[in-house]
Structure 1
Amino acid sequence: MEKGGQQANENRHCLDFGNDPSHKLWNNQEDAIEDRLGDEGYAHTDPEDEDYVPECKPSKPVKRKRLTPQQTQELMAVYGTCTHPDAEKLEALGTKIGLEPCRVKVWFQNRRPQMKKKAQVEQNKQIQQENASLLAENQSLRQAMLIQSCITCGGKTLPSDPLAEKQRLLIENTRLQDECLRASVVHGKIIHTSAFTKPAPWIISSGVDREALRRHADTSMEQFLVLATKGEPMWLPTTDSEMLNYEYGARMSPCLFGLRPEGFVVEATRDTAMVWGTATDLVGILMDTARWSETFPGVVASVVAGDFVSTGIFASCDGQIQLMNAELWVQSPRVPNRTVNILRFSKLVDEKQWAVMDVSVDGILGREVTPARYMGCRLLPSGCLIKDLSNGYCKVTWIVHVEYDETTVPMMFKPLFLTGQALGARRWLASLQRQREYAAALHSSRDLGNNNTGILKLAQQMMASFYTAVSGPVTQTQATSNINEWFGSMGTGVERPDAPVRMVTWRKAGTASGEPADLVLSATTTLWLPSTPPERVFDYLRNEKLRGEWDMLTIDTAVKELGYIATGHPGNVVSVLCSNITDGTKNKMLILQEARTDVSGSLVVYAPIRENTMHAVMNSGNNTFVSFLPSGFAILPDGHGKASQALVTAASTSRAPVCRHNNTEGSLLTMAYQVLLPDNLTAGAMDDVGKLICHAINKIKTAVKADIILPA
């Protein structure tokens, strides 16, 4: 790690995640019980009179009848003790006051939203008053700091004791930042609306829920600290990390969620590494949903922040507990994304050590239906233990302990998941190391004032677009999208499997500069190359001298590297390539490419970009006007190394055999190719793209000396 960090400094290239966006916090949403049961039909009444309820014969015109004061009094008395009476109570109450049970039910359905609306109005008033008070206090502090920060002498403003004054100003500044953050949280509560397309995972409806979540967080944190600090025999060493002794795991998990659901398997891995940054920096990233997602773009597809169970101390995040909904992905169109509702808890364990723990909250509050089965997985106490080493680095111990429905994972990917290489500790920690090295590169670039910052940001934008093309649910965001399966023969000789290619067409929105909306085709496929190490495939794909053999953009022409920016670990670079192909003008067509690799997998992603566009980005540092259609490769290990075989066998409960080919690690290769299409799309256009992909795969197979290729 240190060597990689030093290399980044020597190249003077760096990346910064210091500009964290505002937290999206909110509270006091729809009551959780209302979300479960629903209050259909509460508009059955006159909105201005809660004592009107309709008759119970929907086939006839609705009749309105005012309740008597005695009936209203009885209903209010029962509502004060029970807001959701069952059928038996409804019938008994109706008999007592002379109303049909269905009319009583409608009254309760009307009453609940009315009371909620009144409570929300009062709560909004209180929040507005609190916000005004905080803003006034903030302004007062600013004025006081301004007045006290200097002394006036002879019409000139002279500083008092410089060292003491500087220390006092730093303290005041920290306090002001805390006050501003508190004000922004309150402001977020007031202005939050339903504009978010994805709902918060859990809304805390009562003090009972909040207290139950706190107890769940404390119990989970205790278990996590045991997992993070114990060694053998709790953890069994492997060649690259550690796996949990499942006898210990079985003893710990029932106290949280009960017995493991039938068909679920366990994935429990632990890994430790040195990571650039202070403990405070890393905790700040993990506790900010936006920065967390930016730091793990290849793992976190999306995240929605829910309510705060406990705000803790804002300046340090100590004791902060928050609910989140996260969607995780693996770079292949064949693997479904994993969704989890989690509770995240950060705690200062001792003076230089933090714990950030995640745990599922599905089913812990007495819900009748267990969401874990619907979600397909449940996260047991997982996360990281971060120890500050006071030398610019931290020792990070990462744990992933999850139970998931094995039937949701395609057969060819089961070893990848069971060994933890898909979404296990090794993947998370390797992604964190790589992204922090990237951050160091961007920091150095900014400090030097050179033009590399714009290129690195451009590469980040390109990678984000590639992740979505490979694993993103395109149909959920593009109303005009269509998905088709195209089958083509790959390989030569006797073994010529028909591999499926996912063809997704969608309409790219026009730009503010006047570019029209275009029809885009995203073609992706995943193949298994048994006994072909991922490193061999990666080295071939990033070799610019051999690029013309498979690249559809260069068409067998020579490619020259104009320059590159090292982003940490050897092999991780952002390059600008040039071929002899032009777009019919003097403006050359360049290729922006990023190659990145770590122990969990590799990526080679590229996109064409005009020369004048590249110069504009380098000169201004602005990349917001650039639109990308990146293509490239994701290379994952297949989980079939010798060290993984016993682990796969021990963890899997599937009766179906896991695919094996010798005991040599192979590769899972995902290829994505994106291209603009004419509006009059024909089947022939898809056929042409499919044949180009087959041609490229066959070239790669020959070059890396893969014996066979099997479709995933």
Structure 2
Amino acid sequence: MDSNHDSSSSNGLETSMSTTNRDNKIYHRHSVHQIQRLEAYFKECPHPDDTQRHKLGEELKLKPKQIKFWFQNKRTQAKAQSEKVFNASLRAENIRIRRENEVIQEALKTVTCPPCGGPRPGKEERKLYLQKMRAHNTYLKRQLEQISDFVNNNGGHSIPSVNSLASTSSNPHFSYGTSSNRPLEPPSLEREQYTHEHINNAQPTQHFQPLSQMEKMMMSQTMVNAVTEIIRLIHIEEPMWIKSSIDDRLVIDQENYEKSFTNISHLKSPSARIESSKDVVVVHMDARNLVDMFFDTEKWARIFSTIVNEAKTIHVLESMDTQRQNFSQLMYEQLHILSPLVPPREFIILRCCQQIEDDLWVIADVSCHHVNIDFESPTCSKRPSGCLIQALPNGLSKVTWMEHVEVNEKVRTHRIYRDLLCGGFGYGARRWTVTLERMCERLHLSSISVFPTTDFAGVVETIEGRRSVMNLGERMLKNFAWILKMSGNYDFSQLSETNSSGVRVSVRVNSEAGQPTGLIVCAASSICLPLSPLEVYNFLTNLEIRHQWDVLCHGYPAAEVAGFATGTDDKNRVNILQTASTAEDADMMIIQDSFRDALGGMVVYAPVDLNTASAAVSGQVNPSGIPILPSGFIISRDGHHFTSPELEDGSDYSKSLLTVAFQILVSGPTLSGDLQIEESTTTVNTLITSTLQRIKVMLNCNEGK
């Protein structure tokens, strides 16, 4: 293909094909319909893979090469246009700064000293003043160090410094493991303590610089604009919201959006793309309680425990009206889901709540880039997003959720998860509403004072014991979701561009409460299965065949000795399982928490000894202190939108993405110097590979499928 012609015809109207004579070209002019379809697809997925190109070519009656060249030309054109706009804005900014500088220089010539009315200080006076201020600053720092040393020497805590927000030391290293979840010391269970998962989500331990008046004014204006924009976007339908060309969800039409709203910030990168979505759900929770949970970072991280890894309040802003529940705060959050192959997303956001009517609230989130906080250049930026919460009778709430995010894909996601993220279901509104609905059901069921008919109490005799087991299961889900980030550790990646990701292994030394102390090895892998998420979930929760793939069963069947419903779907349960194993393993039990929803499901479990299980079911100890090391599976749709006029029976014909993660406690608190990390990682690698192989064989899923 002639590169000169490519750049000149990158408007997507033509594609040239070479003949035997290089001077003669056959030009194919695309139809208006083809161009419109290609343009719409490009907006959502500018880098289609081979499968997507073939599918698009069949739909538009174009060859895959024509599709490939069209997207290459379009990306080149988009990059050139982006650079042109960026350069123009830089030139305009440069001219503006020069003019401001000239005005300031002129003003300095006539400036006077405000207190005395005399001439402005000379260079020597200013130099002397700066030296004096530096000396005073050094003195203050020395005083701070002395006070900090004094506090430490007297049994207190050191004064924290302003480090990066995502401190690895404050992350909850929640684990999953084998039956060596040993010593369960009574004192550690009897203390009413919060484990690190609660501490890291509570109000911030760092000290941040106070906000300047200018920063407060800018934030106030940003919040007003964000609230106004969200209210408009939620109430407007077409032409602002259109159906996605990939998966039929509602997305924002960017052309109409940019015409309707001004002051839109863009990530300055040609690889940036826009994700937008909207969804509605009715949940079993009072609207005022929902508003409170959204503004308490600890509760926020709890209710969205499978999405929010970390949340911290940086500043609570002063614009509060407690009577109308109008308030705002600056906060940090880290989001992560599904698999180690999906990178986490970090935001510094302004969150604002405004009570519009007696029974109606709007929660607005928007990225904040004009605050003096040490935060790396973001790979994603949240445009005004949030939800509208309407109070309904009988303690119900209607929540309309909207997500609008700009993502800079400098590092492309692994192929098996690319469709899911490009389609918007990865971090889209649907995932938030599905999670909110499930957690509201769970919180409601855990708060009741009697055993519901859907429960099998079994070995659990009291409501307190039931609540303790449900809280332990919830903590397992949170811990399991956290370990999938697998960052900041030894990493042994074996990534591939096939239907499997290979095995990723990480190693950490744990000293946190709520999990075994010592060296923990974690391994994770993701595969694509030609089965629906429901089929995979039913397989993994089938106790009759579990012993055929789960090494914890040692080949013996497992039986449920207690089970409690965590949602209106009776398949969403926390169970206590026991295997009919050999005498030496007779004291081991398995605690499992599993759920399914519209986007997939999770099955998380952990082996515990009888003493630990007895402590959990007694209801007399704080479940946050019970050491437990969870492992399990995350099931998700593959992101492809399946449509066929021949299939109208309502069946689910989508594929599944299955992520499995195992944790093993390699050694106790005393680490030996000759510990072979390589040997441990090889063991867990073999374990996860063999488990996945057994699952694929039992599901009749060969590599070729």
TM-score, length basis structure 1: 0.65
**Partner residue of 1:441 out of 442, 445, 462:** 445
Cα 1:485/1:417, change in 2 over 3 Å? closer
**Partner residue of 1:453 out of 457, 467, 481:** 467
Verify: 1:394 aligned to 2:397, yes or no. yes
Cα 1:286/1:453, change in 2 over 3 Å? same
Q: State the secondary structure of the residue aligned to 1:471.
A: coil
What is the CA-CA distance between 1:707 and the residue it aligns to? 4.5
Q: State the secondary structure of the residue aligned to 1:524.
A: strand
Contact 1:289 1:304 in 2 (8 A): yes
Q: Which amino acid aligns with 1:305?
A: T
Question: Equivalent residue for 2:694?
Answer: 699
Question: Equivalent residue for 2:345?
Answer: 338
What is the CA-CA distance between 1:496 and the residue it aligns to? 9.2
C-alpha separation in 1, matches of 2:407 and 2:115: 42
Q: State the secondary structure of the residue aligned to 1:641.
A: coil
Contact 2:267 2:406 in 1 (8 A): no
Cα 1:511/1:497, change in 2 over 3 Å? closer
What is the CA-CA distance between 1:609 and the residue it aligns to? 1.4
C-alpha separation in 1, matches of 2:203 and 2:532: 46
Cα 1:275/1:580, change in 2 over 3 Å? same
Verify: 1:384 aligned to 2:398, yes or no. no
C-alpha separation in 1, matches of 2:607 and 2:419: 35
Verify: 1:361 aligned to 2:368, yes or no. yes
1:416-459 Cα deviation digits (max 9, x unpaired):
12222111100111110000000011011479962311110111
Question: Equivalent residue for 1:609?
Answer: 608
C-alpha separation in 2, matches of 1:272 and 1:219: 23
Q: Which amino acid aligns with 1:519?
A: L
Cα 1:510/1:393, change in 2 over 3 Å? closer
Contact 2:301 2:308 in 1 (8 A): yes
**Partner residue of 1:268 out of 232, 252, 276:** 276
**Partner residue of 1:427 out of 413, 426, 431:** 431
What is the CA-CA distance between 1:96 and the residue it aligns to? 4.9
Verify: 1:228 aligned to 2:234, yes or no. yes
Cα 1:546/1:270, change in 2 over 3 Å? same
Contact 1:354 1:385 in 2 (8 A): yes
Contact 1:347 1:354 in 2 (8 A): yes
What is the CA-CA distance between 1:379 and the residue it aligns to? 0.5
C-alpha separation in 1, matches of 2:516 and 2:703: 43
Question: Equivalent residue for 2:184?
Answer: none
Contact 1:453 1:621 in 2 (8 A): no
Cα 1:249/1:411, change in 2 over 3 Å? farther
1:658-704 Cα deviation digits (max 9, x unpaired):
xxxxx963222111111122453353332232122111111222333
Q: Which amino acid aligns with 2:591?
A: L
Question: Equivalent residue for 1:673?
Answer: 662
What is the CA-CA distance between 1:311 and the residue it aligns to? 4.2
Q: Which 10-residue stretch deviates more, 243-252 or 233-242?
A: 233-242
C-alpha separation in 2, matches of 1:498 and 1:411: 10
Question: Equivalent residue for 2:503?
Answer: 501
Contact 2:486 2:506 in 1 (8 A): no
Verify: 1:281 aligned to 2:281, yes or no. no
After TM superposition, the structure 1 = structure 2 runs for residues 630-649 of structure 1, keeping only pairs within 5 Å, are: 630-642=630-642
Question: Equivalent residue for 1:403?
Answer: 406
Q: Which amino acid aligns with 2:553?
A: T
C-alpha separation in 1, matches of 2:516 and 2:577: 27
1:109-133 Cα deviation digits (max 9, x unpaired):
4466889999xxxxxxxxxxxxxxx
Contact 2:287 2:389 in 1 (8 A): yes
State, as a whole percentage, how many aligned pairs show the same letter: 26
C-alpha separation in 2, matches of 1:446 and 1:579: 28
Q: Which amino acid aligns with 1:590?
A: M
Cα 1:306/1:560, change in 2 over 3 Å? same
**Partner residue of 1:466 out of 469, 480, 483:** 480
Q: State the secondary structure of the residue aligned to 1:434.
A: helix
Contact 2:516 2:628 in 1 (8 A): no
Q: How many residues align?
A: 507
Cα 1:274/1:483, change in 2 over 3 Å? same
What is the CA-CA distance between 1:616 and the residue it aligns to? 2.4
Q: State the secondary structure of the residue aligned to 2:493.
A: strand
Q: State the secondary structure of the residue aligned to 1:216.
A: helix
Question: Equivalent residue for 1:590?
Answer: 589
Cα 1:235/1:564, change in 2 over 3 Å? same
What is the CA-CA distance between 1:215 and the residue it aligns to? 1.0
C-alpha separation in 2, matches of 1:604 and 1:581: 22
**Partner residue of 1:243 out of 226, 251, 257:** 251
1:279-326 Cα deviation digits (max 9, x unpaired):
11111111111111111001111111021223422355x220110011
After TM superposition, the structure 1 = structure 2 runs for residues 508-523 of structure 1, keeping only pairs within 5 Å, are: 508-509=510-511, 517-523=517-523
C-alpha separation in 2, matches of 1:116 and 1:685: 46
Structure 1: stretches of 5+ with no match in the other structure: 1-76, 82-91, 119-193, 476-480, 490-494, 645-662
C-alpha separation in 1, matches of 2:377 and 2:393: 44
**Partner residue of 1:319 out of 323, 326, 336:** 326
C-alpha separation in 1, matches of 2:255 and 2:643: 20
C-alpha separation in 2, matches of 1:208 and 1:470: 40
1:543-583 Cα deviation digits (max 9, x unpaired):
11121121121132211122211111422111111112367
RMSD: 3.7
1:318-346 Cα deviation digits (max 9, x unpaired):
22011001111113112221100100110
Contact 1:260 1:403 in 2 (8 A): no
Question: Equivalent residue for 1:298?
Answer: 306
Q: State the secondary structure of the residue aligned to 1:322.
A: strand
Q: Which amino acid aligns with 1:406?
A: E
Q: Which amino acid aligns with 2:365?
A: D
C-alpha separation in 2, matches of 1:666 and 1:198: 44
TM-score, length basis structure 2: 0.65
Question: Equivalent residue for 2:185?
Answer: none
Cα 1:558/1:437, change in 2 over 3 Å? same
Q: State the secondary structure of the residue aligned to 2:239.
A: coil
Contact 1:592 1:606 in 2 (8 A): yes
Cα 1:80/1:681, change in 2 over 3 Å? farther
C-alpha separation in 1, matches of 2:254 and 2:579: 54
1:459-513 Cα deviation digits (max 9, x unpaired):
122222212222253x3xxxxx5333368x9xxxxx998853222222232879x
Q: State the secondary structure of the residue aligned to 1:604.
A: strand
Cα 1:421/1:78, change in 2 over 3 Å? farther
Q: State the secondary structure of the residue aligned to 2:400.
A: strand
What is the CA-CA distance between 1:606 and the residue it aligns to? 0.5
What is the CA-CA distance between 1:350 and the residue it aligns to? 1.4
Contact 1:276 1:394 in 2 (8 A): yes
Cα 1:225/1:113, change in 2 over 3 Å? farther
Cα 1:706/1:547, change in 2 over 3 Å? same
**Partner residue of 2:492 out of 471, 481, 484:** 484
Structure 2: stretches of 5+ with no match in the other structure: 1-111, 144-201, 453-461, 645-651
Contact 1:527 1:709 in 2 (8 A): no
C-alpha separation in 2, matches of 1:198 and 1:442: 34
Cα 1:402/1:78, change in 2 over 3 Å? farther
C-alpha separation in 2, matches of 1:545 and 1:257: 55
Verify: 1:215 aligned to 2:226, yes or no. no
C-alpha separation in 1, matches of 2:396 and 2:243: 24
Q: Which amino acid aligns with 1:215?
A: Q
Question: Equivalent residue for 1:49?
Answer: none
Contact 2:389 2:399 in 1 (8 A): yes
Contact 2:632 2:660 in 1 (8 A): yes
